Amino acid sequence: MARSKVQVWVVSQQSILLLKLIASRGGGWQPITGWVESGESGIQAAQRELREETGIDGVPDGPLRSLEFEVNRPFYQGQVTEAVFVLYLKVKPPIQVDPKEHDAYEWVSAKKAIQRLRYASQRDSLSFLKGI
């Protein structure tokens, strides 16, 4: 059975919010991501992850698409279904990253975000969102 994840993109003033994973979690830049916990819907997980990872209390739109892929990492191996959400904000809010997961954040152009993202599923999602 596939585990469920969420991917949440925050867009403000034509910029994309990226978070930098701490080194012990692999480093690299990504949108807000996380596992759907038992009893949660996808939107509930998206809201929780948004709040936990950035301090933003908002309701993202979605899911706008669903991805399925295989994961082979030390912390999880198997099939994953990932729902993609987006939150559009008029003003860039203050960001409070969770230091257990991230050590930096940056607002970047979509082009720069595509260049920084490590995983194809995230690059594909951002390319899809740019087309909306």
Q: What is the pLDDT of residue 75?
A: 62
Asked if 56 and 87 count as a contact pair (C-beta separation under 8 A), the reply is yes
Domain boundaries, the chain: 3-130
Q: If you write DSSP's letter for every residue of 12-69 in order, what string do you get?
A: ETTEEEEEEEPGGGT--EE-EEEEPPTT--HHHHHHHHHHHHH------EEEEEEEEE
Domain range 3-130, CATH architecture: Alpha-Beta Complex (3.90)
Tokens for 109, please give them.
Answer: 């152009």
Listed as ranges, residues in the chain with pLDDT below 70 are 1, 69, 71-76, 131-132
Q: What is the pLDDT of residue 101?
A: 94
Q: What is the pLDDT of residue 93?
A: 95
Q: What is the pLDDT of residue 107?
A: 97
Q: What is the pLDDT of residue 62?
A: 87
